[in-house]
């Protein structure tokens, strides 16, 4: 059943051909890459199909517990990439449905029934899908839903209104709702870099300088506070408002630098002169910082790994998809900033090969967590499938056009839920060159960060932050499983 549409593998098994460990992946053969991606997507979708079968109506688009709302958003982002990069339309209508069901009454991915696990980072993971949909020309939702770019602008407006100058000189709090007790005093990178990336992509799509001004403002704040290290471009996890962000939690996660680099690549793309040079330096800085997530062992050169937890076997549910986001955003960066292409391609090719070897469990093609062991490590789940899927897809990034742009009137300042705004008819391709997360992500991110450094000493963090305070603040969340 499972492989009824993955013909090669199915036939090989059916014919009694000896099973070859892992998915077959030839990095120079697009058909082979598409096949590997199709298999990874199909297995990932089994988790979703099971969830959909057991959830009440109105919950369409969501993975069941223990996968938080943000991870479902991340999954649909992977499906948008899968659709565009492979050309396979099989999951398009389910993707469209999922985004529509989770859009909310104000067309900004704020859901009344997800308040308990919606922080700024969680909303950001859904919001970047709206940008991807706009940039890829994914069909807009039917009326009365607004065009994708307006959905992204609505989220920007929400976040702009949440910008908090009462502590730390600015920044977004991790949490949005006071009712969400976990991580109330945390200002983290994934929320702020999420806002930065959303602003930068809106700036490029619409040409509206309000968005680029905000992108600069958020970036400068992250840099000033030390979430982004201006010397080595590490993107650290977060800081505590109770100490006015005077100390930093130095744990690094692959998705933080991933979220940040793509915003920087967008800013590079729209800048000129010395500003362009500045963004070029920053993008290269984030490439340099990304190197920490590759080459764990000398026999696993250029293969990606989650360096705060994977080697210690302490990664948690929320962290399994992180490598996929780094692959997603590095590959897209390599197109916008061609000087990064050689390094990034080398990394992604080796990582995809490692991932393919890991996809040899359970169904015979189920992917594992670790890509550097040349096999399946017994650790399966939708996040692991997502990571493998995105690293396979990323090899096809040079086959698609540059992200689309619209016009400056593509999005409006007042939160809009109507479809009467500029639609994709105003969108023109700017180039035909085929160059071209209490809450979830951060919640467990922070909690893992805290517990890892406090209890195991296994990380290489040199943080002097009051980890005890952060750990106790979010321990309840970790213990209860509430992101």
Ligand X SMILES: *[C@@H]1O[C@H](CO)[C@@H](O)[C@H](O)[C@H]1NC(C)=O
- Judged by beta carbon, residue 304 or residue 373, the one nearer ligand X is 373
- Judged by beta carbon, residue 91 or residue 320, the one nearer ligand X is 91
**Least Å distance between CB 452 and ligand X?**
23
**Least Å distance between CB 28 and ligand X?**
9
CA distance 318 to 440: 6
* Cα–Cα nearest to 338, from 405, 431, 259: 431
CA distance 338 to 248: 32
**Least Å distance between CB 168 and ligand X?**
5
**Least Å distance between CB 27 and ligand X?**
9
Tell me the residue nearest to ligand X as measured from the CB.
169
In angstroms and rounded to an integer, the radius of gyration of the C-alpha atoms of the chain is 21
CA distance 331 to 420: 34
**Least Å distance between CB 247 and ligand X?**
12
**Least Å distance between CB 85 and ligand X?**
14
* Cα–Cα nearest to 100, from 59, 157, 158: 59
**Least Å distance between CB 445 and ligand X?**
23
Look at strands 248-252 and 186-188 and give their pairing: unpaired
**Least Å distance between CB 322 and ligand X?**
20
- Judged by beta carbon, residue 125 or residue 376, the one nearer ligand X is 376
- Judged by beta carbon, residue 290 or residue 317, the one nearer ligand X is 290
- Judged by beta carbon, residue 334 or residue 447, the one nearer ligand X is 334
- Judged by beta carbon, residue 168 or residue 218, the one nearer ligand X is 168
Lay out the sheet containing 236-240: strands in order across: 186-188, 236-240, 248-252
Sequence-separated (6 or more) residues with CB below 8 Å from residue 389 = 37, 40, 41, 44, 78, 82, 324
* Cα–Cα nearest to 121, from 171, 66, 83: 171
**Least Å distance between CB 365 and ligand X?**
8
CA distance 446 to 467: 10
- Residue 150 CA from chain centroid, whole number: 20
CA distance 436 to 346: 17
Sequence-separated (6 or more) residues with CB below 8 Å from residue 263 = 193, 196, 197, 199, 200, 201, 215, 219
- Judged by beta carbon, residue 358 or residue 438, the one nearer ligand X is 358
Look at strands 186-188 and 236-240 and give their pairing: antiparallel
- Judged by beta carbon, residue 214 or residue 253, the one nearer ligand X is 214
CA distance 1 to 179: 45
Can you give the binding site for ligand X, defined by CB under 6 A? 2, 13, 19, 42, 45-46, 49, 104-105, 111-112, 168-169, 208, 210, 244, 281, 284-285, 288, 297, 299-300, 338, 341, 345, 363-364, 372-374, 398, 408-409, 413, 435
- Judged by beta carbon, residue 125 or residue 372, the one nearer ligand X is 372
* Cα–Cα nearest to 325, from 290, 349, 353: 290
């Amino acid at each position: 059943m499972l492989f009824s549409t993955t013909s090669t593998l199915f036939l090989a098994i059916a014919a009694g051909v000896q099973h070859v460990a892992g998915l077959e992946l030839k990095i120079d053969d697009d058909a082979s890459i598409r096949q590997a991606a199709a298999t990874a997507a199909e297995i990932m979708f089994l988790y979703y199909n099971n969830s959909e079968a057991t959830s009440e109506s109105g919950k369409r688009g969501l993975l069941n517990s223990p996968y938080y709302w943000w991870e479902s958003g991340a999954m649909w982002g992977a499906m948008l990439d899968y659709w565009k990069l492979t050309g396979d339309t099989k999951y398009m209508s389910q993707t469209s449905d999922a985004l529509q069901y989770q859009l909310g009454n104000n067309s900004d991915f704020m859901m009344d029934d997800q308040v308990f696990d919606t922080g700024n980072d969680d909303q950001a993971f859904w919001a970047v899908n709206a940008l991807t949909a706009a940039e890829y020309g994914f069909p807009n939702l039917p009326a009365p839903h607004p065009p994708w770019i307006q959905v992204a602008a609505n989220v920007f407006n929400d976040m702009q209104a949440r910008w908090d100058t009462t502590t730390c000189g600015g920044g977004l709090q991790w949490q949005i709702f006071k009712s969400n007790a976990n991580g109330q005093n945390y200002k983290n990178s994934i929320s702020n870099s999420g806002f930065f990336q959303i602003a930068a992509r809106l700036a490029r799509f619409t040409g509206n300088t309000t968005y680029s001004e905000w992108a600069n403002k958020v970036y400068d704040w992250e840099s000033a506070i030390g979430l982004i290290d201006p010397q080595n471009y590490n993107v650290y996890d977060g800081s505590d408002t109770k100490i006015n962000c005077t100390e930093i939690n130095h744990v690094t996660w692959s998705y933080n630098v991933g979220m940040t680099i793509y915003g920087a690549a967008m800013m590079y793309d729209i800048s000129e002169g010395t500003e362009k040079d500045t963004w070029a330096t920053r993008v290269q800085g984030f490439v340099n910082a990304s190197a920490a997530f590759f080459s764990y062992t000398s026999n696993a050169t250029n293969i990606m790994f989650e360096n705060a937890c994977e080697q210690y076997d302490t990664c948690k549910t929320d962290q399994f998809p992180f490598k996929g986001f780094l692959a997603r955003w590095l590959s897209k960066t390599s197109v916008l900033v061609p000087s990064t292409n050689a390094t990034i391609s080398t990394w992604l090719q080796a990582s995809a090969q490692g991932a393919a070897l890991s996809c040899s469990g359970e169904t015979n093609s189920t992917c594992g967590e670790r890509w550097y062991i040349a096999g399946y490590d017994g650790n399966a789940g939708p996040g692991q499938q997502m990571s493998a899927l995105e690293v396979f897809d990323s090899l096809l990034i040079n086959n698609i056009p540059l992200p689309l742009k619209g016009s400056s009137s593509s999005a409006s300042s007042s939160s809009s839920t109507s479809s009467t705004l500029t639609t994709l008819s105003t969108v023109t391709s700017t180039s035909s060159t085929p160059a071209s997360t209490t809450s979830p992500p951060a919640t467990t991110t922070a909690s893992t960060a805290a517990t890892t450094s406090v209890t195991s000493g296994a990380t290489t963090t040199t943080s002097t932050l009051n980890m005890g305070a952060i750990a106790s603040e979010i321990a309840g969340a970790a213990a209860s499983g509430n992101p």
